[in-house]
Structure 1
Amino acid sequence: MKTLWNKYKQNKMAHGIFLLIYICVSSLSLFMAQRSVTAFLLLLSSLLLLYFTNFKNLTKWLIAGIVLAFLLPFTASQGDAYQSYMEVATLVGIYIAMALGLNIVVGMAGLLDLGFVAFFAVGAYTYGIFATAQASNFMPFGTFPLSGESFWIFIIFGCLVAALFGILLGIPVLRVKGDYLAIVTLGFGEIIRIIFNNLDRPINITNGAMGIPSVTPPRLFGIDFLFPSQFYYIVLVILLFTIFTVRRFEHSKIGRSWKAVRENEIAAQAMGVPLVRTKLMAFAIGASFSGMMGVVFAAKQAFVDPTSFTLLESITILVMVLLGGMGSVPGVILGAAVMTILNLQVLTEITNWLNQLSMSGAISIPDALSPAKMQRLIFGLLLILFALYRPQGLLPAKNRIYDEKVLQEGSGQTVLGIATEQSQNEKLNVKEV
């Protein structure tokens, strides 16, 4: 049995056949049973199976793009639950992008941040203020609200503003480590929320605790984006850009600098890593992704208020990173997807099922013990279990392994090449003399 399993793991053809059958069966199940959450989750699970195949990265990206851009929306669009499915998928994409941003700060750079949702709030309020008549209270020029076409510019603008706030957070905490860093970032997140909650006087900028309603929806080629199925594609494009950028940073010089700072700041500084610039870049780049998704969130909800940016949201995003695996991009994606789907669909469906059993008289469960109301308890138990039995997360981070002999041979060839070049130069100098 073990021999057959090893042969299967090395056989790309077997992987492709099994994956094709699985995608076809799960897609057909979702197409036929539109209100089946199980079929929806099974189709999404095909992306996890795709990750464990032996295909090339380009092949994996193409298959994932086909599933996410065409197959999932089409098979889910044949029933009344279409928009609810797209709502869940959109929120999953938003939380994945924010978790990837926090993973840069916590997972790669090793800087514990408990106020990360503040950057999400900055992006949301940046668009919410100018996409409503709220900006006319303090702007002496211009006509507000801005049109829906400005949304595409505000995605970039929200990214830059959030990055600026990330730098402002990073400057005073450069000399703080460990628990003290967590306390400072926690205070920063609460300060931002309180400012937005009280910035309705003496000049009404954020409308205080009442929030900002009637945010202008995005518009492209005369089409207003009003439904989750439309925002799904916006989030998908931003998410692909986020994953590509984070992967490029992970294996770049700055990514190696982040990991060096995470392991040992003194050793990193001794090797020439600039601590100030490295930490500030981690805060700025991580915050920028959250700011972009904040703009999308404000446009999708058409309403912004401080209750959406509490400390609990920051902790939830941090749990996504811990659950998936700190420093692991695939792990963070899986952790954010599991947490979001568990919160929005699985616990809700289990609660509805138990309520139906209670109404039919089959069982009697108190309302206070419904899974939807005990989600924090369930998340806490999951964290305890993973901390005890899987401390590295669902998909731990992998470091590149280099062959020592190859490196030694390469360095030897390099030294030989330098010596040959020097000898040739000496001969030329002799001839010139």
Structure 2
Amino acid sequence: MKKWLNVLEQNKRLQAIVIAVYIVITFISLYLAQKSVVAFLLLLSSLLFLHFTTFSHRVKWVIGIVVLSVLLPLAASQGEAYQSYMEVATLVGIYIAMALGLNIVVGLAGLLDLGFVAFFAIGAYTYGIFATTQANNFMPFGQYPLSGESFWVFLIIGCIVAAIFGILLGIPVLRVKGDYLAIVTLGFGEIIRIIFNNLDKPVNITNGAMGLASVQPPKLFGLEFMYPSQFYYVVLVILLFTIFVVRRLEYSKIGRAWKAVRENEIAAQAMGIPLVRTKLMAFAVGASFSGMMGVVFAAKQTFVDPTSFTLLESITILVMVILGGMGSVPGVILGAALVTILNLQVLTELTNWLNQLSLSGVVSIPDALSPAKMQRFIFGVILILFALYRPQGLLPAKNPRFDEKELKSGATNMVDGKEGAKDVYFNG
């Protein structure tokens, strides 16, 4: 088996054949078996196999975009489970974008943030307030709700507002780190949720615990976005943009500064890295992605209330980052996708299957151990197993190494998967 894998690794043509055959088989399986969760997951897993190939980044991007934008929707659209598949895929994209934002703060800059869902809530309420009649309670001008065309503008507004709050969070926590930083960010997340929950007096801005209902769906050229299959493409475009920006930042000057601060703040400051600006930039950039996805979430759900932005959501996003591999963009993408699909689809389907067996008398399950009650327990056991056997994450971050001779000669080639690079990675 190992010998075959070595041959496969060295032969790009053989890799192309294997990937093509796998994608075709899983596409046909999902096309014919519309309610098969296994077929849906197998087609998605082709992206993971694509990651381990030796193709250039450009080829991987093209194949991945074709699978996500054409093959997956086409294969899933032939049955009644189409919208449920697209709902799962849309939520996966939303959580991946948020996890990538948190990865900048936690994975690259080394700043433990337990209140990251607050920026998600800020983005959701930024659009929800003005896309409903709620803004009439305090706005002295304008007519509300705003039309669905304003959604595209609010993607930028939500991004900017969340970034501003990220800076406001960063200012008071510049002198704390570790456990104390976690406590401060935890408090920030709870404060934001409580404010939204109680901001219905004396001026009704957020409608308090009742939430904001009938949020205007997006519109584009007269087409109203109401179904998950439509939001899927919106999320896909934003996600691709997010991945591109994060990858560019990772190897930029600011990305190297974040990593230096993560490893040793004193040494980083001694090398001339401005700690205040570097940390604030991490909070702002990470929050902006979450705020943008908050706008999408509010428009998709057409309802926003404080119960969607609890501490558990922040912990779940942090679990995605840690499970995938802190500081690793492919790892965070895999971790977020895995956790979301486990919660939304795999464990739900397993619970339904066990319930059917219990109702049909095939197995006898006590009420105290009913599948519905044990779903979170099973999820916890899975996380413990991953933590024990993959403590650095599913796809750990890799630090670049440089060739000393090439550095002295003026060449600064760094291995990041690009063609022509001669250096090698080592696990960090």
**TM-score normalised by length of structure 2:** 0.94
Residue 26 of structure 1 is matched in structure 2 by 26
Quote the Cα distance in structure 2 between the aligned partners of 1:153 and 1:260: 35
Counterparts of 1:371-382 in structure 2 under 5 Å? 371-382=371-382
Per-residue deviation, residues 109-136 of structure 1 (Å, max 9, x unmatched): 0000000000000000000000000000
Query: Higher mean Cα deviation, 6-15 or 172-181?
Result: 6-15
Does the 8 Å contact 2:129/2:205 carry over to 1? yes
Q: Which amino acid aligns with 2:337?
A: A
Residue 40 of structure 1 is matched in structure 2 by 40
Does the 8 Å contact 2:158/2:291 carry over to 1? yes
Counterparts of 1:224-235 in structure 2 under 5 Å? 224-235=224-235
The alpha-carbon deviation at position 404 of structure 1 amounts to 1.4
User: 1:115 is paired with a residue of what secondary structure?
Assistant: coil
Quote the Cα distance in structure 1 between the aligned partners of 2:2 and 2:294: 48
Residue 414 of structure 1 is matched in structure 2 by none
Does the 8 Å contact 1:326/1:396 carry over to 2? yes
- Which is higher, the Rg of structure 1 or of structure 2? 1
Quote the Cα distance in structure 1 between the aligned partners of 2:94 and 2:369: 29
Residue 15 of structure 1 is matched in structure 2 by 15
Q: Which amino acid aligns with 1:56?
A: S
The alpha-carbon deviation at position 367 of structure 1 amounts to 4.5
Mind listing any 5+ residue stretches in structure 1 that lack a counterpart?
412-433
Query: Higher mean Cα deviation, 342-351 or 1-10?
Result: 1-10
Q: Larger % of helix: which?
A: 1
How high is the sequence identity, in percent, across the aligned residues? Answer: 79
Counterparts of 1:99-114 in structure 2 under 5 Å? 99-114=99-114
Residue 279 of structure 1 is matched in structure 2 by 279
Do the aligned partners of residues 372 and 395 (structure 1) sit closer, same or farther apart at CA in structure 2, a change above 3 Å counting?
farther
Misfit runs of 4+, over 6 Å = none
The alpha-carbon deviation at position 398 of structure 1 amounts to 1.2
Per-residue deviation, residues 296-346 of structure 1 (Å, max 9, x unmatched): 000000000000000000000000000000000000000000000000000
Residue 172 of structure 1 is matched in structure 2 by 172
Does the 8 Å contact 2:190/2:311 carry over to 1? yes
Residue 61 of structure 2 is matched in structure 1 by 61
Does the 8 Å contact 1:347/1:371 carry over to 2? no
Give the root-mean-square deviation of aligned CA atoms: 1.3
Quote the Cα distance in structure 1 between the aligned partners of 2:253 and 2:261: 12
Q: Which amino acid aligns with 2:128?
A: G
User: 1:384 is paired with a residue of what secondary structure?
Assistant: helix
The alpha-carbon deviation at position 189 of structure 1 amounts to 0.2
Quote the Cα distance in structure 2 between the aligned partners of 1:5 and 1:217: 49
Quote the Cα distance in structure 1 between the aligned partners of 2:75 and 2:323: 30
Mind listing any 5+ residue stretches in structure 2 that lack a counterpart?
412-428
Quote the Cα distance in structure 1 between the aligned partners of 2:379 and 2:348: 14
Quote the Cα distance in structure 1 between the aligned partners of 2:173 and 2:335: 28
Quote the Cα distance in structure 2 between the aligned partners of 1:72 and 1:81: 13
1:85 maps to 2:85: yes
Aligned residue pair count: 412
Quote the Cα distance in structure 2 between the aligned partners of 1:220 and 1:41: 31
User: 2:410 is paired with a residue of what secondary structure?
Assistant: helix
Quote the Cα distance in structure 1 between the aligned partners of 2:34 and 2:214: 31
Quote the Cα distance in structure 1 between the aligned partners of 2:378 and 2:260: 35
Per-residue deviation, residues 262-317 of structure 1 (Å, max 9, x unmatched): 00000000000000000000000000000000000000000000000000000000
Quote the Cα distance in structure 2 between the aligned partners of 1:62 and 1:33: 26
Counterparts of 1:193-212 in structure 2 under 5 Å? 193-212=193-212
Residue 151 of structure 1 is matched in structure 2 by 151
Does the 8 Å contact 2:331/2:393 carry over to 1? yes
**TM-score normalised by length of structure 1:** 0.93
Residue 71 of structure 1 is matched in structure 2 by 71
